[in-house]
Amino acid sequence: MRAEPRRQRDAHWATAGAVGRLEAAAATFAGTGNGVLPIGDAGFEHGGDIPGLGSHETGMDIDVWPVRTDSAQCTAGRITWQSSTYDRAATRRLVQEIRAKAPGHSALVFFNDPQLIAEGLTTSYPNHDNHLHIRYR
């Protein structure tokens, strides 16, 4: 896992449970050869409202970027599910690992790829074309 520059400078805190579950998924993802898993916004150290976000207040929400076909999630520009460099198969595997490493704890994964939505892996939500928003329970 690698922390990427965040929209919110200090929004890189999450509960130990959320971090542990995501680290477990990231460790499996690392073995796929699809590059490093970049992390976006999580929450503030002591919780609270993050300007511009409707959640991420309790340390149970973490954003990650979708996987690219060139595996350059951390070094190349941000993409959406509509980008030519979007790797749906690798992103699908990532979501499956996120869910597998958090049985009973991963309530939602917001991401607007219609194929992953149709497969029941993600849920559509406004402004979630360029990142996966994981909400742990």
Q: How confident is the model at residue 103 (pLDDT cuts 50, 70, 90)?
A: confident
Count of residues making up the chain: 137
pLDDT > 70? residue 105: yes
Would you say 30 and 101 are in contact if contact means Cβ atoms under 8 Å apart? no
Residue 41 vs residue 128, higher pLDDT: 128
Domains of the chain with CATH codes:
2-136 (3.30.1380.10)
Q: Is the pLDDT of residue 7 over 60?
A: no
What is the side-by-side strand order in the sheet with 38-39?
2-3, 38-39, 61-64, 132-136, 106-110
Say yes or no to pLDDT of 79 above 60. Answer: yes
Q: What is the pLDDT of residues 17-56, one digit of tens each?
A: 999 999 999 999 999 999 999 898 888 787 767 766 667 7
